[in-house]
Amino acid sequence: PWWVAGIFQSTKKLFLSERAGWGRTLEFIRKNAANGLSVANLVAGLSSVLCSLNRQYQHSCWLLLIGFLLDLADGAVARQLDACSALGAKLDDFADFTTFGLATALLLQPQGVVDGLLTIAYVMAVFARLCFFSTGIPFTYRGLPCPYASSLLAGTFLLTAGNVTLLRITAFVMTLFMVDQGSYPHDKVLESQLWKKVVYAGGVVAVLFSPAVVASVYCLAWSTSYIVFPFAIWSCKA
């Protein structure tokens, strides 16, 4: 009967429409998963800035370590889902500058001209590292990637209970590492050997569930190993 055919056609159209809508939703999620992680990193950075402005520096350090983990994840997600884009790269750089530049520099707690100049130098080193140090070689950095410098500073702050003098010395050294044009390999933590994935998983557990001492020692050891032995340990081997 004609009415059975009509019901069949309407049901078919509804099913196809729902399937197309679900497909568009999945595609949107695929294209923006990495951008979502970058936005989360940006929010962590802005929250860290607010904590530092309110002199809640320990909370600021925890947010920086969370941003460190998010930054390592967003690049891996973008590459695995083939969702790399110019917009995503700009968003990632802006999030990195906010979190690993401005928010990290506020841990130095500048009180005078010299401290202020060191803080400005640190921020400008991050800016230069993100904007100008291109190697022309895929997955190779020129100058120390700023997330590792930030992780080292946050871990140092937590482990030393906020020893500002030691923190400023560390920041000065990290500034030199970032502006140096020696090459660093891409670590590709989530896209390489199993042990690197285990290190990342350990970092997540340490930051989210462990005491401050454990988390700071873990992140210090992780960051230091990459800063001091980038090729011997962290050169990407798929």
User: Which 8-state DSSP code applies to residue 85?
Assistant: -
Domain count, the chain: 1
Picking from 74-78, 82-86, 88-92, 116-120, which range would have the lowest pLDDT averaged per residue?
82-86
Whole-structure pTM value? 0.84
Q: What does the alpha-carbon distance between residue 153 and residue 171 come to, in Å, rounded to a whole number?
A: 7
Is-contact 68 147, C-beta < 8 A?
yes
Question: 2 in a domain, yes or no?
Answer: no
Using an 8 Å Cβ cutoff, are 233 and 224 in contact?
Answer: no
**Whose CA is closest to 175, among 230, 229, 119?**
119
Structural domain containing residue 144: 7-234
Interval 110-129: pLDDT, tens? 998 999 999 999 999 999 98
pLDDT for 160: 93
- Structure tokens, 125: 């080193």
Average pLDDT over every residue of 55-64: 96
In a domain, 177, yes or no: yes
Residue 1 lies in a domain: no
Asked whether residue 86 is assigned to any structural domain, the reply reads yes
**164 located within any domain:** yes
Mean pLDDT of the chain: 86
